[in-house]
């Protein structure tokens, strides 16, 4: 389990296709704190550390993960947001994040507000996911607060610290983003669906 509070970034230095899977080799200042078999969030996707060599490590995304996330669009030199799993005795600074991306969204617009940034996101509402005003969303592994919530989109405000210390500053209009919707909202949405007798 994660909280959506990004600890660091990792630079993609090698891509290894393997049948329907892709192995990624990253370089990070956190590598010396990782252990093989550890779960680490990469842009909001929970991946297992498979191999560690000095400041580099390898993870693999299977076909299912590549279809439902934006990991398959990564290019050499790209940076991903990293978060290790939550400690039981740590402060809960973000919100409950599982590292299981629900769907891909698209960055519709980025507005510079002279000290912060507004990012507008669109997503496919037919998949049943919802946001609520002032609720939580995990976007590329970052816990953010929703505003301008509507059926197929929402906005988030990015403060300078988040802009600099995550890969948000590299986001462009039209880019794909990983979205994990609030777990409480997902349960409520499911309970709200009418019971259908077949």
Q: What is the pLDDT of residue 193?
A: 66
14 SS3 class: strand
| Domain range 8-84, its CATH number among 2.40.30.20, 3.40.50.720, 2.40.340.10, 3.40.50.10860 | 2.40.30.20
What's residue 90's pLDDT? 77
Confidence of residue 191 (pLDDT cuts 50, 70, 90): confident
Q: Which fold has domain 103-192?
A: Elongation Factor Tu (Ef-tu); domain 3 (2.40.30)
Tell me the pLDDT tens digit for each residue of 143-173: 999 999 999 999 999 999 999 999 999 999 9
User: How many angstroms separate the CA atoms of 104 and 125, rounded?
Assistant: 11
pTM for this entry = 0.91
Tens of pLDDT, residue by residue over 72-125, are: 999 999 999 999 998 877 777 888 899 999 999 999 999 999 999 999 999 999
Token pair recorded at residue 16: 């290894």
């Amino acid at each position: 389990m994660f909280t959506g509070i990004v600890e660091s970034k990792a630079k993609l230095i090698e891509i290894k296709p393997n049948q329907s899977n892709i192995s990624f080799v990253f370089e990070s200042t956190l590598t010396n704190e990782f252990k093989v078999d550890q779960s680490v969030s990469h842009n909001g996707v929970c991946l297992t550390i498979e191999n560690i060599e000095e400041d580099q490590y390898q993870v693999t995304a299977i076909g299912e993960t590549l279809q439902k996330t934006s990991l398959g669009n990564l290019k050499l030199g790209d940076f991903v947001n990293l978060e290790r799993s939550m400690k039981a005795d740590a402060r809960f600074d973000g919100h409950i994040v599982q590292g299981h991306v629900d769907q891909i969204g698209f960055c519709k617009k980025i507005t510079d507000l002279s000290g912060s940034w507004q990012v507008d996101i669109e997503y496919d509402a037919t998949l049943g996911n919802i946001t609520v005003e002032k609720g939580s969303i995990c976007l590329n592994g970052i816990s953010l607060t929703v505003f301008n919530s509507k059926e197929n989109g929402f906005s988030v405000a990015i403060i300078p610290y988040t802009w600099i210390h995550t890969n948000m500053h590299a986001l462009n209009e039209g880019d794909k983003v990983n979205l994990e919707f609030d777990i409480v909202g997902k349960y409520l949405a499911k309970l709200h669906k009418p019971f259908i007798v077949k």
